Amino acid sequence: MSVTDELLANNARYTESFTGPLPLPPSKHVAVVACMDARINVYGVLGLNEGEAHVIRNAGGVVTEDEVRSLAISQRLLGTEEIILIHHTDCGMLTFTDDEFKKSIQEDVGVKPSWAAEAFSDLETDVRQSIARIKNSPFVPKKDHIRGFVFDVATGKLNEVV
Amino acid sequence: MSVTDELLANNARYTESFTGPLPLPPSKHVAVVACMDARINVYGVLGLNEGEAHVIRNAGGVVTEDEVRSLAISQRLLGTEEIILIHHTDCGMLTFTDDEFKKSIQEDVGVKPSWAAEAFSDLETDVRQSIARIKNSPFVPKKDHIRGFVFDVATGKLNEVV
């Protein structure tokens, strides 16, 4: 049995106590942008319930064009007004550089990615960079309530980047 | 008090029962790509615990360059081998077209996005499109275990797209 099959068995149990459907727009009018890291259970970390917040995640929790796209849709079509950015301690993005990652791919498959890997060397600096990218975008209209945090994988605590 | 402040109070409670740190690589060697929709609590839907799976999310659960980047990092650096794609019923991406969304932004701020909004008109077709994009990428090495689902927001059930 694959892991996917195992998780589908979990899903069958989930449906037994599921009550829906909830409305489409997030009831708390908030969008979260977080790293894909397995240790960040966004619903647990923030005490979110189903239906309350958009959750956008990728490697690093960085803001690239696709996060701008998602935030533009979130704010313009579905009414979110606050943004919470979450990076975290012990992040994999701290362990390599763009150059070496892209070179390893080129050596493996003969093609070098045209995109940035978005590795970074300092967590707080990169949270500020992600905020700066949102503030610099004409496509995300609501920028008055953007806050950035570093999640501590040892304690579960969100520490604000100021 | 902002919603963010309210969620930070939830975080303080989360830390009280938190035990960490867990290892960086996902213990179940799986990456999930899901829509950002507020009603999809990925950890609940799949019965995932902290530390088990990468979770990548955006508007639609579509596969763009940034999801390829995240999956490349997930597989090449952190050992994941299976991919689960999740779209869902009542998705906001079914309610507009790229052309009209981008035109509305152009009318609002004078700048038309150079990116695709990635709206779609059929859920199952778009799940297959996302799988096709992964299979077509030279940067994601492990493609033998990719499965796509539509989450039913009324029942909580994952229905496989075949």
- Tens of pLDDT, residue by residue over A26-39, are 999 999 999 999 99
B35 labeled binding residue: yes
Pairing outcome for strands A158-160 and A146-151 = antiparallel
Partners of residue A149 on adjacent β-strands: A86, A160
Cβ neighbours of residue A84 closer than 8 Å, sequence gap 6 or more: A30, A31, A32, A33, A46, A147, A148, A149, B4, B7
pLDDT at residue A133 above 90? yes
Chain centre distance of CA B128: 15
Q: Which residue among A20, A111, A154 places its CB closest to the CB of B21?
A: A154
Calpha distance A136→A128 (Å, rounded): 12
Report ipTM (2 d.p.). Answer: 0.98
With an 8 Å Cβ cutoff, are B43 and A41 in contact?
yes
Distance CA A130, CA A14 (A): 35
A46 has a chain B CB within 8 A of its CB? yes
Which chain A residues contact residue B9 at CB under 8 A? 47
Q: Which residue of B has its CA nearest to A9?
A: B46
Task: Give, for all 162 residues of chain B, the pLDDT tens digit.
Answer: 899 999 999 999 999 999 999 999 999 999 999 999 999 999 999 999 999 999 999 999 999 999 999 999 999 999 999 999 999 999 999 999 999 999 999 999 999 999 999 999 999 999 999 999 999 999 999 999 999 999 999 999 999 998
- Indicate whether A49 pLDDT > 90: yes
Is 90 exceeded by the pLDDT of residue A1?
A: no
Q: Whole-number mean pLDDT of chain A?
A: 98
Cβ atoms of B151 and B157 within 8 Å: the answer is: yes
**pLDDT for the residue B1:** 84
Give the per-residue pLDDT at B162. 87
B22-160 has which CATH code? Answer: 3.40.1050.10
CB of A31 within 8 Å of a chain B CB? The answer is yes
Q: Measure Cα distances from B44 to A17, B19, B116, B127 in Å.
A: 11, 19, 31, 21
Tell me, yes or no, if A133 comes closer than 8 A to chain B by beta carbon: no
Q: A69 and B105: CB-CB below 8 Å?
A: no
> Which of the 8 DSSP states describes residue B23?
P
Which residue of chain B has the CA closest to A74? B59
Among residues A115, A20, A23, A122, the alpha carbon closest in space to that of B72 is found at A115
Q: Which residues of A touch B4 (CB under 8 A)?
A: 30, 82, 84, 145, 147
Those residues whose C-beta lies under 8 Å from the C-beta of residue B154, and which sit 6 or more positions away, are A20, A21, B89
Asked if B5 is an interface residue toward chain A (Cβ–Cβ < 8 A), one would say no
Residue A157: per-residue pLDDT: 98
Nearest to A44 by CA among B61, B27, B12: B12
Looking at chain A, the whole-number percentage of residues with pLDDT higher than 90 is 99
pLDDT in the model for residue A80 = 98
Q: Encode pLDDT of A137-150 as tens digits.
A: 999 999 999 999 99
pLDDT (0 to 100) of residue B88:
98
